[in-house]
Amino acid sequence: MNSDYLFTEFDEDESGSSPGIYELNIISGGCRLYGYLLTPDKRIEGLRPAVILSHGFPGYTTNNDLELALMRAGCVVIHMNHRGAWGSEGNYLFTNLKDDLVAISKWAHNPAIAEQYGIDTENIFLVGHSMGGQTVLNAAKELDFIRGVAALAAYDIGAAFAYGLEKDLFLMIETEGQCLKMNSASEVFENALNNRFELSILNGYEKLAGRNVLLVEAALDTVAPAGKMLRPLADKLASLSSPPEYVTIVSGHSFAGQRMKLAKAVGRWIEKTAVQ
């Protein structure tokens, strides 16, 4: 991998060497999750780190630009839609998110899959934005083989209830969640309420001690205020003498105006964290 190539392309594609895109479906909880996998140009030699992206709620804000930047830099990139989201089978529930990501990660770590797509199984990374940030942090606690985990403007359901933001959460489910497959907004909200302690990124935070963790704060974030949802985890890990890498980008929740800074922060962190 070479992060200098995040925004640099070859002058032209070369037959047999061009980047690849493959449709995927992976089983989680008896449901098919649909997505795709990107492979870098074959002129980039060697085994490639794999980056698994977890989308936020409900997935309107995409990270396709980040995915393509990481592909250009030499990563295999896996984009999957969680249960009930964007065509994937099943109903959307917050408690399904971690299990989906664990299933996807174990799929990518399988030796046969790794050989097929050129994945370096020692260098598998989880990257998630917003609700996906909560998801990757919680999944990493259960996956010892993950090389690193990056949470971008992470949303924390536990903090939402602790700081009286539950009305905002319900409104988000009721309005933005209309594109999801779910029985009702009330069921999804109750799923969050009843499992808020388990879903919190602070639950079992000590399992992230000694791990490679990148936390990216959006300083102007009003959806997932970093002071309530991201910095507490950084403080907890620092108290264990295991501070994460912490990057602040002056932007709103989606990083819409600072996408290149975001890609550089994630890409350079992966490059220096990967086992060489």
Helix (H), strand (E) at residue 74: none
Name the least confident of 61-70, 98-107, 248-257.
Answer: 61-70
- The dihedral region occupied by 26, where left means phi > 0, alpha psi between -120 and 50, and beta the remainder, is beta
Query: How many beta carbons lie within 10 A of that of residue 241, not counting itself?
Result: 8
Q: What is the structure's pLDDT at 266?
A: 98
Mean of pLDDT values over 247-270: 97
In angstroms, how far is the first alpha carbon of the chain from the final one?
10
Average pLDDT over residues 117-142: 97
Residue spans per domain, the chain? 3-10+17-273
Average pLDDT estimate for 215-228: 97
Q: Strands across the sheet with 119-129, in order? A: 20-28, 31-39, 76-80, 48-54, 119-129, 148-152, 212-218, 245-249
**pLDDT score, position 73:** 95
CATH of region 3-10+17-273: 3.40.50.1820
Query: pTM score, two decimals?
Result: 0.95
**Cβ neighbours for 8, distance < 8 A, ≥ 6 positions apart:** 72
Instruction: Write the DSSP string, 187-244.
Output: HHHHHHHHTHHHHSTTTTGGGGTTSEEEEEEETT-SSS-HHHHTHHHHHHHHHTT-PP
User: How do residues 150-185 score in pLDDT, each as one tens digit?
Assistant: 999 999 999 999 999 999 999 999 999 899 999 999
Rounded Cα–Cα distance for residues 261 and 214 (Å): 14
Residue 40 one-letter amino acid: P
**pLDDT, the chain, mean:** 95
Half-sphere exposure of 133 (CA within 13 A, CB side): 25
Q: Residue 46: pLDDT above 80?
A: no
Residue with tokens 């083989």: 145
Whether residue 59 is predicted with pLDDT greater than 80 in this model: the reply is no
